[in-house]
Amino acid sequence: MMLPVMSSMPATAVDLSVDLAGLTLRNPILTASGTSGYGSELAAFLDLGTLGAFVTKSVTVEPRRGNPPPRAVETCSGMLNAIGLANVGLERFLKEKVPYLRTARTVVIVNVAGHRVEDYVAACERLDACDCVRGIELNVSCPNVVDGLDFGTDPQRLHALVTAVRPHVRNAKLIVKLSPNVTDITATATAAVAAGADALSLINTLQGMAINIEAQAPILANRCGGLSGPAIKPVALAMVHRVYTRVARDASVPVIGMGGVTTWQDVVEFLLAGATAVAVGTALFVNPAVPKTLCAGLREYVDRKGLRSVRELIGRLH
Ligand X SMILES: Cc1cc2nc3c(=O)[nH]c(=O)nc-3n(C[C@H](O)[C@H](O)[C@H](O)COP(=O)(O)O)c2cc1C
Give contact residues for ligand X (rule: CB under 6 A): 32-35, 57-58, 72, 79, 81, 83, 85, 111, 139, 177, 204-205, 228-229, 232, 258-261, 280-283
Q: Smallest distance from the beta carbon of 69 to ligand X, in angstroms?
A: 13
Residue 34 contacts residue 228 (beta carbons within 8 Å): no
Instruction: Map residue 196 onto helix, strand or coil.
Output: coil
Cα–Cα distance for residue pair 45/6, rounded to 1 Å: 27
Q: Strand 107-112 to strand 199-202: parallel, antiparallel, or no bridges (unpaired)?
A: unpaired
Nearer to ligand X, 121 or 280 (CB): 280
Query: For the chain, what's the residue count?
Result: 318
Nearer to ligand X, 14 or 152 (CB): 152
Catalytic residue list contains 76: no
Q: Smallest distance from the beta carbon of 9 to ligand X, in angstroms?
A: 30
Cβ–Cβ contacts within 10 Å for residue 34, how many? 23
Q: Smallest distance from the beta carbon of 85 to ligand X, in angstroms?
A: 6
Nearer to ligand X, 280 or 298 (CB): 280
Q: Strand 78-81 to strand 107-112: parallel, antiparallel, or no bridges (unpaired)?
A: unpaired
Residue 195 contacts residue 253 (beta carbons within 8 Å): no
Nearer to ligand X, 84 or 196 (CB): 84
On the question of a cis peptide bond just before residue 232, with omega within 30 degrees of 0, the verdict is no
Name the catalytic one among 124, 130, 142, 295.
142
Q: Which residues are known catalytic residues?
A: 142
